[in-house]
Amino acid sequence: MATLIDGKKISAEIKEELKEKVAKLKEEGTEISLAVIQVGNDPASSVYVGNKKKACEFIGIKSVAYELPEETTEKELLDIIDELNGREDINGILVQLPLPAHINEDKVIEAIDSSKDVDGFHPMSVGALSIGKPGFVSCTPAGIIQLLKRSNIEIAGKECVIVGRSNIVGKPMAMLLLRENGTVTVAHSKTKDLKEVTKRADILVVAVGKPKFITADYVKEGAVVIDVGIHRNENNKLCGDVDFDSVEPKASAITPVPGGVGPMTIAMLMYNCVNGRM
């Protein structure tokens, strides 16, 4: 039987710690504020943005919302970002992705001042992470490090295998596990003999975007398994990239879906807003 890594509980602890810190900062006369920009009304984005605003409210961060119409031009969005970059009363700027097709996402991400890039997507933030300088770290992989640390799972010297090489999860995850002195392998869709690679892992992080892709035969006995995926199955039930029922008996610790990695992303966004570049 694996230990369940409880992301709901750990994210709640982090949010409580941040709430205390924000209250202290307020006493000293400092207010933290986050600008949240959504362009268009993609329903999933609206849910995420709503949850981000709620988390801000709970912690005591002032959220400044920009709900812009789908037809907003790239220039209009860039002008808003430019104005927010210059405002001393705004600590963080978050542009919810995806953006409508007529807006260049890279251009928008690069327009955000890297000192306010709480998502950690700006090339300056990514570069800082690679060379071990202070900078914002992408929230999902940062949350996974917190899950491991707060569950007393040692990373140093461990074989860490990440399946998936996205800019938002796989690549920054590799950098973070390396920073913690893990021995890191990044596997992906072109990896030959994936099972042989994943079976080496003491810590296996799965971010492939395919429901129940990782079954027991990909996992070493006693491995720690972190599931970044979230999907709805044919019965409208949530599941991850890991086939939980087959993998759980073999793992020493595992994150459930829902209630594992998911809740950590917003907690770490709040962490980035409060703590700045670290």
State yes or no: is 96 an active-site residue.
yes
Instruction: Compose the 23-62 pattern: x for residues touching ligand GUN by CB under 6 A, - for all others.
Output: ----------------------------------------
* Catalytic-residue membership of 202: no
**167 three-class SS:** coil
Task: Compute the least distance from the CB of residue 262 to ligand GUN, in Å.
Answer: 11
Active-site residue, from 117, 119, 227, 241: 119
Helix %, strand %, coil % of the chain (to 5)? 40, 15, 40
Examine the residue annotation and report whether 217 is marked as an active-site residue of this protein.
no
Segment 118-147, which members bind ligand GUN (CB under 6 A)?
A: 119, 139
The CB density around residue 86, as the number of other CB atoms within 10 Å, is 9
Cβ closest to ligand GUN, residue 1 vs residue 101: 101
Q: Which of 64, 65, 97, 230 binds ligand GUN (CB under 6 A)?
A: 97
In whole angstroms, give the CA distance from residue 40 to residue 102.
12
Q: Smallest gap, in angstroms, from Cβ of residue 32 to ligand GUN?
A: 18
H or E element: which one contains 224?
Answer: strand 224-227
Query: Quick one: which of 10, 14, 35, 94 contacts ligand GUN (CB under 6 A)?
Result: 94
Nearer to ligand GUN, 7 or 182 (CB): 7
Show the site string, 102-121: x = touches ligand GUN by CB under 6 A, - = not. -----------------x--
Distance between CA atoms of residues 4 and 226, nearest Å? 10
Neighbours of 186 (CB within 10 A): 18
- Nearest CA to 264 out of 136, 145, 92, 117 is that of 145
User: Are the C-beta atoms of 165 and 171 separated by less than 8 Å?
Assistant: yes
Residues that bind ligand GUN (CB under 6 A): 94-97, 119, 139, 265
Which residues form the catalytic set? 52, 96, 119
